[in-house]
Structure 1
Amino acid sequence: MKSAILPEPLKRGDLLRVIAPSGALREFAALQQSVEIWRSRGYLVEISHDLDQRWGYLANKDEIRRHQLASAWQDPDCRGILCSRGGFGSTRILENWHWPNTTPKWLIGFSDITALLWSLYNAGISGVHGPVLTTLADEPEWSIQRLFDLVEGRPLAPLKGCGWGGGVARGILLPGNLTVATHLLSTPILPNFDDVILAIEDVTEAPYRIDRMLTQWRLSGLFTKVKGIALGGFTKCEAPANIPSFTVEEVLGDRLADLGIPIVSNLPFGHDHPNAALPVGVVVTLDADQGTVSRFMDKYPK
């Protein structure tokens, strides 16, 4: 089992750069509020000059978004990268992409940023599955503090959900958005799933679509490798009106409960808040009897 390298903890005065690697930015006021949260903590936040550009539904052309990411990653003065929003587009800039061999730095985001986080994990570096700059300001105070605890090197409190029974599993935490992760299947971006605790969430996907994706995972054989599953929010995942359907909760139970591995649901991460920050590629303990995810460690204890 291989855990990822955590970047050095951030401290006041560190420079962070804001990039738009995915969808076109629309929530400018929300972004500015979140930038001010970082600045109020003593960080220097540099916003890309072309952050307000768009190319269709994307924040900019692929080569420009790729350059934003590469420039921030290779900047020796930059200690962290704050993603402005999700949407769609990060997978496009990962074609023929290799992470430059520089000092590891923090990469923070979720939703479509899943692709970047998993690609970075493949390079052996941990990122943060957590609020983007268009959502951070709406997070509860405990969630905001958790994000800063993570990047500043303080211990993380356990997360509490609903245990499905099945005992305790320890493995490498791999959090992400189910839809984005499903579209990474059979690509070079998909990590090795041996000994993984898979943490997934989603939003605005009808139950039949969740069913279809989880069935694809079952058929791929990947669920036979993971040691446990942590389920976050599956918000606004209702069936269309007047159409016969299972609920999303019924779909999750039907497609996952027979896997014979520990599962915890209703954990506070994902879309629509709260979105508790999770480190990618660290060792965690998932207790499906107590309904907790805890002991966020950068490596196995001796």
Structure 2
Amino acid sequence: MLASLTVAAVTLPLAGFTSATPPDKAPKTLLPPRLKPGDTVGLICPAGAAFSKETVQITKESLEALGLKVKLGKHVFDRFGYLAGTDQARAEDVNAMFADKSVQGILAIHGGWGCARLLPLLDYKTIQKNPKPLIGYSDITALLLAIHAKTGLVTFHGPVGSATWNKFSVDSFRQVLFECAPVLYQNPKEVGDNLTVTKDRITTLTPGTARGKLVGGNLTVLSALMGSDYLPNFKDCILFLEDVNEAVYRIDRMLTQLKLAGVLDQVKGVVFGKCSECEPGKGGYGSLTLEEVLEQHLQPLKVPVYSGAMIGHISHKFTVPVGAEAEMDAAAGTLRLVGSAVA
């Protein structure tokens, strides 16, 4: 018995602690139909509550300005503490929007917390039979990853309804979801009154190029799903990550978790987006910087890595498809979709 346990302990890391979907059991990649002017987008609150009706109205008007129609989920204005209603009610809205033939896309109004609580309640068979774009970021990462893992459906790490619908974000949103074309993700290079670019710079940690399926999202949410059955397979993927308002030691802790779970050893490349408000902070005995933590965890992987991409809790953001094939160039700081992420 002891010998058996020893063998199991030795082989566990090789088997993968992540409980990610094994490659031989992963569903085929499923592209959702592209969005078109006149299509209806369903608005849901799968995590935090919609405290402001004005915010929902601004979301509605923004989507209408894109030529889309809007349908509110039945439980959009529900509230259960810090959640937008009970788990059952929020899951009901997700399932209903996928089942509704009059709805062509689904957009979360807010992030927050609570999506992971819904994962056992989702109707993955219905979702797979009714593919449509699901869009959001932050806590919505749990839905994006789980739905892709269970159904193969490409999902979209992009704006939530309450985000700023500025030209940069709208252009990326349109290119990915409307225009059915390969997309190049490249940070703006505006010098302004300065002698060189000072804002939204790219940092190359390890130069090189790689190709693989895009998998990732919010680091906190992704790491919280480790050990569950709601993660896609990470083998040969391009991992993209972002976060907000996390102390540097917490980023260190979460990247360590990905390392110990075997995730980092499987990837073909890493794109680290923005970590907003992730400064070392004050006092005590000092801190590592975010740059140092990224170097320590990601440079030893010997795969292309760059940071600073327009992915994260920022006003100007890329819409990045989870599950789509992409090529990265870490020296140039670019990602390019291989084909379209929608049908």
Q: Structure 1 residues 141, 17: closer, same or farther in 2, change over 3 A?
A: same
CA contact (8 A) 2:33 2:132 kept: yes
Residue in structure 1 matched with residue 178 of structure 2 by the alignment: 152
Map 1:255-270 to 2 at 5 A. 255-270=297-312
Residue in structure 1 matched with residue 14 of structure 2 by the alignment: none
Residue in structure 1 matched with residue 208 of structure 2 by the alignment: 167
Name the CA distance, whole Å, in 2 between partners of 1:273 and 1:296: 26
Aligned residues: 297
Structure 2 regions of 5+ residues with no counterpart?
Answer: 1-22, 188-201
Residue in structure 1 matched with residue 154 of structure 2 by the alignment: 126
Q: Write the deviation string for residues 30-73 of structure 1: whole angstroms up to 9, x where unpaired.
A: 33223212112221101124322210111000110011111111
Residue in structure 2 matched with residue 239 of structure 1 by the alignment: 280
1:51 aligns with 2:76: yes
Q: Structure 1 residues 278, 75: closer, same or farther in 2, change over 3 A?
A: same
Task: Tell me which of 252, 267, 271 is aligned to 1:211.
Answer: 252
Name the CA distance, whole Å, in 2 between partners of 1:252 and 1:30: 36
Name the CA distance, whole Å, in 2 between partners of 1:225 and 1:67: 35
Name the CA distance, whole Å, in 2 between partners of 1:98 and 1:65: 13
1:81 aligns with 2:106: yes
1:194 aligns with 2:222: no
- The DSSP-based 3-state class of the residue aligned with 2:129 is coil
- The DSSP-based 3-state class of the residue aligned with 2:238 is strand
What is the Cα deviation at residue 296 of structure 1? Answer: 4.0
Name the CA distance, whole Å, in 1 between partners of 2:206 and 2:314: 27
Q: Write the deviation string for residues 98-141 of structure 1: whole angstroms up to 9, x where unpaired.
A: 41142211100011110111112111111110010111xx2430
Report the more deviating stretch, 272-281 or 184-193. Answer: 272-281
Residue in structure 1 matched with residue 166 of structure 2 by the alignment: 140
What is the Cα deviation at residue 27 of structure 1? Answer: 4.5
Task: Tell me which of 100, 104, 107 is aligned to 2:131.
Answer: 104
Name the CA distance, whole Å, in 1 between partners of 2:314 and 2:292: 21
Q: Structure 1 residues 249, 279: closer, same or farther in 2, change over 3 A?
A: same
- The DSSP-based 3-state class of the residue aligned with 2:206 is coil
Residue in structure 2 matched with residue 277 of structure 1 by the alignment: 319
Name the CA distance, whole Å, in 2 between partners of 1:211 and 1:49: 40
Residue in structure 1 matched with residue 66 of structure 2 by the alignment: 41
Structure 1 regions of 5+ residues with no counterpart?
Answer: none
Task: Tell me which of 262, 280, 284 is aligned to 1:221.
Answer: 262
CA contact (8 A) 2:327 2:336 kept: yes
CA contact (8 A) 1:172 1:196 kept: yes
Normalised to the residue count of structure 1, the TM-score between the two structures is 0.93
Normalised to the residue count of structure 2, the TM-score between the two structures is 0.82
Report the more deviating stretch, 17-26 or 227-236. Answer: 17-26
Amino acid at match of 1:70: N
1:13 aligns with 2:38: yes
Could you say what the CA RMSD is over the residues aligned between the two structures, in angstroms? 1.8
Q: Write the deviation string for residues 177-200 of structure 1: whole angstroms up to 9, x where unpaired.
A: 000000011100011111110000
Name the CA distance, whole Å, in 1 between partners of 2:304 and 2:65: 40
Name the CA distance, whole Å, in 1 between partners of 2:307 and 2:53: 33
- The DSSP-based 3-state class of the residue aligned with 2:264 is helix
What is the Cα deviation at residue 153 of structure 1? Answer: 3.0
What is the Cα deviation at residue 276 of structure 1? Answer: 0.8
1:286 aligns with 2:328: yes
The structure with the largest alpha-carbon Rg is 2
1:117 aligns with 2:164: no
- The DSSP-based 3-state class of the residue aligned with 1:222 is coil
Name the CA distance, whole Å, in 1 between partners of 2:288 and 2:54: 38
